[in-house]
A and B are shown apart, each in its own frame.
Chain A
């Protein structure tokens, strides 16, 4: 029997872990559901003035990378139809329409979630060729310019190339003539292309990026910067100053490889506005938005598909088994005395409405009053059921009084008293009385305090939001909880309290 119980708990545990792993690896669930992140609302408002038969607007849209997820996106245009095209890492939203006549607005919005602790990972890029527009002598010049930097480590090379933007040649400056030729080439081909030529000549991958810095902003044009691969990660280079930067997580790339963030054919962009705003999204809505759109079977069967009101119930309900597990542990491992088995869990649930301090206060207040009344009732010789009914009435009456006092003084927690489990409280009074009669007041108080303590611990557990979220996302964890419950059920060693209880026997031998 022992072995089979172990197998069963192992099975339950594996079931739980299996589901969990599938969700994390297969469905991209977060392994830690509450890692704080930043959520941004990104929007593009453009107005297109058509010219010609077919108007085509290509918008570079934000794309997902590890550490950056798009929770929601919407395109709104009264006339144009949208197709999304993937080009490498880029996503292009192509809006098109035939024979438009009037200026037409287009709006795109996306909710983007960034996890700052997870750096954006990139795969090692393949080495790019020189840009097509660079002539042969330009290539030769570029090779000549970087020849002296051959032995520098890649990050140093990148810095050296970046410095040339501001006209500084920190390592082995070139000859006067080459420098002049370089200046002419820059004027002819533009800064971006000339820089890419230098990177190419130095055997480094580099790309032009069009995007926005992640700050609250409204702007009518995007930023452009260069990114170069230093062997492990991309390093950004500001085109205006030549400064290098590593915090690529705080930039939002829209288009990689030199393409413009927005372009139009068969018309022109009358005006365009990019805006970025920080959004405050709870962890709950974050997961909700993602799961809502997912086609996978497990996501369609997720608790997030429940109507919101019912979701709230399950956030708590899923944690009650943990409370039960804790009670099993406190009773069987620690030897904690409590009234009844699940009474502390019910109290803990009720404390969510009254708050822990008021809840415990009311609990002990009603218990004391109930005990006093029960002592008096004992002299009246009432039969069991009517006597319990009297106690029940007393409990309800005290609730009413507490609620009225709460209303008078505006204490919400007092008004919520009605949600305490009154039947349980009635039984606790009776059991408390019987226990004090049979085993003494000390034992009765010990048990009452034990119950309150367990209720407190349970309350703290079920109120812990990260745990709520975890169980809500991964309800299969209940199997793991019952695995632990089975394990506790298998424990046949001493309870902590017994170490002290039986100490006397050892003392003599």
Chain B
């Protein structure tokens, strides 16, 4: 039974963890390029050089001594985002939507006291959220106002789009929609919805919530499939450029769509998860193999790679 099951997965071209690590991450992602994606400040720097828009940082807190200077430095900003530079999976990120006498109001309506605020910055600096527990720095950046496209299927927070690229070719994509259960975070582990996106049309397809296939958002009750993602070609191009940007061959790019600025790069991931296959109900492996068989001129430019991907990966 086990072998029959494994054979069916293989036939469906589904990528397993072992193969992802051994044949794609280890082969195409040089260790030396990891800091570029693990540290959001470095990612931003390199993205700028490649004309990939990112969220705008207004303050970086590097030392515990600077924590007290943070609030004065905010000036009259009422909304912003606190992020650990080396965090992953959205941990440690706090969205501040307003300020009050007591302190700061977070996106889910709770008040973060000044003391809590200081504590959170100190936590980030100590490296609690950082990969490998190293010391970290805090990024304060402008709050993203999500484009209205996903408004009906989002519970608070900011939905994000994940695109996986292989050798610079976009191979699979999904949008992650926060739910009440996920506490407004676009994190599948915590209960966000993942909806697969058809690469050729940019329309959402099937969706998965806690490994169950769903057709509507559990909090809003609105259908999650059939939504046309705006700026789709542009986002695919941004993702395709990630290879030249980082030198990594197997990469996950997370983007958010700001209502004013359009798609913005949130972060890169050198070890993107495999759940995207469940959201798309398609195997990644089959697509990766297809990319390996593509004629060499396909890889010439980001544009040619996107064009090829949109032709090949129709759903």
Contacts and interface: CB of A to CB of B under 8 A. Distances in A.
Contacts, number: 78
A121 B18 CA distance: 53
Contact of B9 (A439, A491, A502): A502
Size category, B interface:
35 or more
A277 to B, nearest CB: 56
B190 A439 contact: yes
B19 A383 contact: no
B283 interface: yes
Nearest to A382: B119
A242 B89 CA distance: 89
Interface in B181-214: 189-190, 206, 208, 211-213
Interface stretch (A56-64, A288-296, A313-321, A492-500): A492-500
Contact of A384 (B14, B128, B212, B277): B128
Contacts of B62: none
Contacts of B189: 438-440, 443
Contacts of B17: 335, 495, 498
Interface residues of A, number: 27
Interface in A471-509: 490-496, 498-499, 501-506, 508-509
B210 to A, nearest CB: 10
B278 interface: yes
A499 B89 CA distance: 24
Contacts of B283: 505
Contacts of A439: 189-190
B300 interface: no
A438 B87 CA distance: 13
Nearest to A437: B91
A381 interface: yes
Contact of A498 (B9, B128, B208, B282): B9
Contacts of A501: 211, 278
Contacts of B73: none
Contacts of A440: 189-190
B19 A493 contact: yes
A280 B206 CA distance: 71
29 contacts: A332-B18, A335-B17, A383-B123, A383-B126, A384-B123, A384-B126, A438-B190, A440-B189, A440-B190, A492-B18, A494-B9, A494-B10, A495-B16, A495-B17, A496-B2, A499-B5, A499-B9, A502-B277, A504-B208, A504-B211, A504-B212, A504-B213, A504-B278, A505-B14, A505-B281, A505-B282, A505-B283, A506-B9, A508-B213
Interface of A: 332, 335, 381, 383-385, 438-440, 443, 490-496, 498-499, 501-506, 508-509
Given A438-B190, A502-B9, A505-B281, 13 more contacts: A384-B123, A438-B91, A443-B189, A494-B14, A499-B5, A501-B211, A503-B5, A504-B278, A504-B281, A505-B283, A506-B8, A506-B9, A506-B12
